[in-house]
Chain A
Amino acid sequence: GAVVSQHPSRVICKSGTSVKIECRSLDFQATTMFWYRQFPKQSLMLMATSNEGSKATYEQGVEKDKFLINHASLTLSTLTVTSAHPEDSSFYICSARVETRGSRSPLHFGNGTRLTVT
């Protein structure tokens, strides 16, 4: 159990367009999901916390108007990169935890989405 699925796994888009990435918890519900970004040869950087039914919480330095997060249901969070530019090219990863297993239950991660902006 505890599978987190992301779609798409890879996407190439032109500069100036918007891209939506989906994150689904397949066999559990999650009121909170987390979005990370990872540049080549670097560690994961937390971007924001997605909250079901309310606004996302963004980490310092992350532009909320550029990275739109919607958590419309207990199993789906989406990240939209608006007006993408080449510097937004990165590996985007989401995660969630099985909240019914207690506060110590670990986060489970999706397999990531590699975004390339040309």
Chain B
Amino acid sequence: DAKTTQPTSMDCAEGRAANLPCNHSTISGNEYVYWYRQIHSQGPQYIIHGLKNNETNEMASLIITEDRKSSTLILPHATLRDTAVYYCIVRGDSSYKLIFGSGTRLLVRP
């Protein structure tokens, strides 16, 4: 599975959009991009996933570049409860397991 690169930490103001980038320049054609987050001392929570089209659900939007080498997770109106570590993971068809990188620690400021 392709490796991902994320900034170590980010912050944003409560109520503003949080845009979390992820680089996956070695992604292959059949690999999907998954986003999870982990709030302190809890298990990871699934957010969203996509292949090449932009995706939106009740939690977030996922924007994938046309060449699929990077993506951005957008939390449109961040709240204090969105403070967490966000993981971008690329997964292919060969295995259902997820390999976690270091993620981005997002701090939402009041």
Binding site for B on A (CB under 8 A): 4, 6, 32, 34, 36, 43-46, 49, 91, 93, 95, 97, 103-104, 106-112, 114
Interface size on B, residues (CB 8 A): 21
Is chain B's binding surface mostly helix, strand, loop or mixed? loop
Cβ contacts under 8 Å, A44 to chain B:
38, 44, 100
Task: Say whether A93 contacts B34, CB under 8 Å.
Answer: no
Measured CB to CB, the nearest residue on chain A to B85 is A43
Interface residues of B (CB under 8 A from A): 32, 34, 36, 38, 41-46, 49, 87, 93, 96-103
- CB-based contact B46/A46 at 8 Å: no
Most buried by B among A44, A49, A95: A44
Contact B46 A107 (CB under 8 A): yes
Contact in complex: B43, A43 (CB < 8 Å): no
A49 touches B44 (CB 8 A): no
Write out the residue numbers on chain A whose beta carbons fall within 8 Å of the beta carbon of B41: 91, 112, 114
